[in-house]
Structure 1
Amino acid sequence: MDLQEVTDEIVRLRSPMARRHALGWLAGAGTMALLTGCGSDSGGSPTTIPVTPTPTPVPAPSPSPTPLPTPTPSPKTCTQTPSETTAPYPADGTGATSGSVNNVLNQSGIVRNDIRASFVGSSAIAPGVRLTLNITLQNSGSNCAAVTGYAIYVWHADAQGRFSLYTIPAETYLRGVQVTDGTGKVSFTTIIPGVLSGRYPHIHVAIFPTLASATVGANAVFATQLILPVDLCTAVYADTTTYAGAQTRFGAITLASDPVFGDNSTEQNASRTLTATGTVAAGYTADVTLSPNLGVAI
């Protein structure tokens, strides 16, 4: 191309139409180059375009369950056993007695399970229908916890409504002491008591904090009287020979008219009434749970 041809081409490219043609040509040439490059390499083989793998999603960890708080147990409740006078009583060192022993609690042999026989100066056995008496002691002032290591003194009338060392001076039967075990329980073998004139059938109980303290009635921290159930009394007192006078005296008294039990509510008296099973011929087993308020600390 001579100088004149170069000059003419420059003039032509300055026009807008020429520039558009030139840009279009360049764009076409670039596209062809790209297709040629993607379609094959220098040897004619297809070019593989690497594909980036899609990452596997990692599951989010499951949240650990929040542990529920351990519920606080509700305090146990129990009907507080009504208390009675702890002293003075004949034969426990606190009151006058006509018997041979003024204080049976300091006598050797008072700690025993079977209280049917006398053990001081006599070995006579009190006649009557056999009774196995099971007492459980718990503290109403400490969530009804079992009370262990306490001494329980039990005494009651014979089949005819008489007391040893008092109205039967020469005898020491139907009296004894036991210590509560790890579950707060004691057991006595005795007889069904008779009926005193003007009193509902009952059994005396005095409680001491230790066996060592159970040597005089004044050391008792609690005393009460157990109530015999009506059906048991009705069945037992039908034997008018062994239980002479008991049937008549029982028919003349009620819990409401009793000078001791009549002051308490139905619920309170129910809490110290024996739950008994058995027969007159085979004897009875009776259970009762006493719940005095002995304070928070035992």
Structure 2
Amino acid sequence: MGRHHADEVHDGGVHEHDRGLSYDLPVLARRRMIRLMAGASLVPLVGCTSQDGTPASPSASSAKGSASSSASSAECATIPDETAGPFPGDGSNGVNVLKESGVVRSDITSSFGDSAGGTAEGVPLTVTLTVVDAASGCGTPKEGAAVYIWHCDRAGDYSLYSEGVTDENWLRGVQEADGSGQVTFRSIFPGCYAGRWPHIHFEVYSSLTDATAATSITSTSQLAFPKDVCDTVYATDGYDESVRNLSSLSLETDGIFSDGYGRQLAAMKGSTAEGYTATLTVPV
């Protein structure tokens, strides 16, 4: 599977995390073409998610059996392939954290190994991804698969890369999927930096061995957060920059999620006082 990386420039705290829509156009064009091709055989859809993330209208003339089959097929589409961004830390753009002892962990709030040993501050967040087999109708968990996730800190900086946190490797970790296909990480809610909607990057591997060797990636994608939760979190201490950055963004105009975010939008529960949980099913 092809990998796409964008550039970022740090200058006085301003982030430019990608080269613009034209750089990511091959990825976006591929996804739109897949949707167009699939549409010919999957229309009409019932109970599905539209391209803008809202429920699609059911067709009154559709037979129940046909509609159910079409909806099931749409829901079982693989997770959209996205750019890994400029700071994956998987060896494809400089440093490789995946081969370091200690990267396999569920709590990713602190740095590990020979890094500075700091801890990222912010509203607590627990992320649970359920990896399933799309080819079997999304009903079969991918037990033994491995997921590597990474995201920016409260200030919008990425460990290992951003100025001031190059000695840290917090907010990065790998987990092996259990019998239910689930991996769970304890982290903090990421900030919103200029030009990108709040998100978490993740890579899926066939096995833990592949993940810790940084080889044979099955899927690369991103998780998006709902606006109402972002607004609530960013009203707390430490997220001041995120309030300003989010005000000029939307899911519909984001360079990654603008062509459809329904299958990448996390389901959220919780509060700023108790922390949040984010869940997402990841068909591969």
TM-score, structure 1 length as denominator? 0.67
Residues 1:119 and 2:112 are matched in the alignment = yes
Choose from 146, 150, 153 the match for 1:155. Answer: 150
**Alignment map for 1:138-177 (pairs within 5 Å):** 138-144=132-138, 145-167=140-162, 168-177=165-174
Taking the aligned partners of 2:271 and 2:86, their CA distance within structure 1 comes to 35
Q: How many residue pairs were aligned?
A: 210
Which structure 1 segments of 5+ residues have no match? Answer: 1-72, 97-101, 293-298
Question: Which amino acid in structure 2 is aligned with residue 132 of structure 1?
Answer: T
Q: Could you say which residue in structure 1 is the equivalent of 2:124?
A: 130
The answer to whether the 8 Å contact 1:131/1:283 transfers is yes
Q: Which runs of 4+ in 1 moved over 6 A?
A: none
Q: Which residue type is aligned with residue 214 of structure 1? A: A
Deviations 1:127-184 (A, max 9, x none): 0000111110112122212111001000000011100001020111000000111110
The equivalent residue for 1:202 is 199
Change (3 A) 1:161 1:112: same
Three-state SS of the structure 1 residue aligned to 2:231 is: helix
The higher radius of gyration belongs to 1
Which residue of structure 2 aligns with residue 91 of structure 1?
89
- Residues 42-68 of structure 1 show CA distances to partners (whole Å, capped at 9, x for unaligned) of xxxxxxxxxxxxxxxxxxxxxxxxxxx
Distance 1:87 1:149, change over 3 A: farther
Q: Matched residue of 2:208: which SS? A: coil
Q: Distance in 1 between matches of 2:282 and 2:154?
A: 25
1:122 to partner: Cα distance: 2.2
Per-residue deviation, 1:79: 4.2
Q: Measured at CA, do residues 88 and 199 of structure 1 come closer, stay the same or move farther in structure 2, by a change above 3 Å?
A: closer
- Assess if the C-alpha contact under 8 Å between 1:278 and 1:284 holds in 2: yes
User: Over residues 180-223 of structure 1, what are the superposed CA-to-partner deviations in whole Å (9 max), with x where a residue is unaligned?
Assistant: 11110111000100012100000001001111111354531101
Distance 1:169 1:105 in 2: 16
State the distance in 2 between where 1:216 and 1:242 align.
36
TM-score (norm 2): 0.70
8 Å contact kept, 2:190–2:199? yes
For residues 125 and 260 of structure 1, do their structure 2 counterparts lie closer, same or farther at Cα, with a shift above 3 Å needed? same
Match of 2:216 among 207, 214, 219: 219
Change in CA separation of 1:235 and 1:86 when aligned onto 2, cut-off 3 Å: closer
Alpha-carbon distance, 1:82 to partner: 0.8
Identity, % of aligned positions: 38
Displacement after TM superposition at 1:256 (Å) = 1.7
Summarize deviations over 1:218-241 as a string: whole Å, max 9, x none. 5311010000111110100012x4
Is 2:188 the partner of 1:179?
A: no
Backbone CA RMSD of aligned residues? 1.9
Give the counterpart letter for 2:97 in structure 1.
V
Unaligned runs of 5+ in 2: 1-67
From 253, 266, 281, give the equivalent of 2:273. 281
CA contact (8 A) 1:89 1:217 kept: no
